Structures are given as structure tokens and as C-alpha cells.
Chains A and B, each alone.
Chain A
Amino acid sequence: RKEVEQDPGPFNVPEGATVAFNCTYSNSASQSFFWYRQDCRKEPKLLMSVYSSGNEDGRFTAQLNRASQYISLLIRDSKLSDSATYLCVVKERTGGTSYGKLTFGQGTILTVHP
């Protein structure tokens, strides 16, 4: 089983649509969770952290379900500029010899069209 698994897509949606991405992780001891965004031919950049209670940042909502080892990202009112690859990232617990490595999913491709 992959450590971090995402549906690779691609998701093709019209402007204004709501789209949701899912991610599952295999290590139940994982500590922290994040979404990164990678534009075409660009480097990945942190989009937002994912908190246990769920959190919003404008049109973006992230949710975490530790029991199911599941993370989601919801984008409302999609814009053309949202077109990118969205990477789910899991951070292992720090402590002992573990420094808290980040593990990336393969990413979900989103294309928003007019």
C-alpha cells in the first residue's frame, strides 16, 4: 500500500464549480498534514495545513479524519488560476530518531476551463 495515496485525476471542471480531492495515508502515527500546490513546470508550494477540526482559507477547505486516515481538500467557486496539481503531504511524528519526514502523494491534476 502506498504511504500517501491520491486519485491522480485529471479533474476537468468549469469555472465556478466546486471540486473535492481525497487523500489517504497508511501510517496511523502520522502527526501533521498539508496540501501543496504545484503549477505546471513550477515548484511545489505550501497551500495550507490541515487541522483536526477542519479549516478554511478563502475558497479552500481542508478536512482530516484520523480514524479513517483520510484527508480532503474542497475548492469552491473554481477559478482558471486554480488549475494546478494538488499534492497531499503527510508528516511523520517527531521523536526519538524520527525528525518528522514529509511524504508526498503523487498529486491530483485539476484543470479549470472557461
Chain B
Amino acid sequence: ETGVTQTPRHLVMGMTNKKSLKCEQHLGHNAMYWYKQSAKKPLELMFVYSLEERVENNSVPSRFSPECPNSSHLFLHLHTLQPEDSALYLCASSQDLRVYTGELFFGEGSRLTVL
């Protein structure tokens, strides 16, 4: 059982829908991340939160809106997406923001398809 849980695992949505991805970490970590993984591309960092404060927004379009209500939960709200947004969205956590060990703990991802 993974220490980082993502729901839903699969999501199909139309371009006008509003949906949310949820991430929960059970590891007592202080930093949480959203990554996008597309075929044949490196993982793209989207957002970083440390102690519920956003520390990075990596030039992500406003149709993606993150929310971190506490250090254990992270959401990604989706609105008016485009077909090119179809990808695997991975949530990760780390003990702290500086990740001295280099270890991020990833969830299994939410596979998003935008029609």
C-alpha cells in the first residue's frame, strides 16, 4: 500500500467539465507536488507546496488550479481543459522542501483523458 494515495485513478472529461484530482499522503511529510507525465516527455513539475504554502507555479495555465488545505492533502482543480492536457498526473510528497535525500514519494497517478 502506497503512502501517497490519488483519486480518481482514471478520469474522462469533456472540455467544458469541471473536475478535481485528490491526493493524500500518510507519511507526515511537509512538501507536496503535482507533476504531469506525458508520453515520451520528462516529468513536468507543475506546483509545489511546502507547509500548505505554494512555493512554485511552473508556468501552468490557469485552467489548472491547485489547493492545499493542510499538509496531508493536495487537490488539482480542472476547468475548461484541452485535449493536449490528457496525461498522467502524479502527486508526490517529500519530508521537506529541500529533499536532501532526493527521494520523492509518488502516488500511482490519475490518468486523465480530455475529449
Contact = CB atoms under 8 A, between A and B. Distances in A.
Interface of A: 2, 4, 8, 32-34, 42-46, 49, 87, 89, 91, 94, 99-107
Interface residues of B, number: 23
What is the interface of chain B mostly: helix, strand, loop, or mixed?
A: loop
Interface of B: 2, 40-43, 45, 48, 50, 55-56, 90, 97-104, 106-109
Closest 3 pairs (CB-CB, A-B): A43-B106, A104-B43, A34-B102
Contacts of A49: 101-102
Contacts of A104: 42-43
A94 B107 CA distance: 25
A81 to B, nearest CB: 19
16 contacts: A2-B42, A34-B102, A34-B103, A42-B108, A43-B90, A43-B108, A44-B43, A44-B104, A46-B104, A99-B48, A100-B97, A100-B99, A102-B45, A102-B102, A102-B104, A105-B42
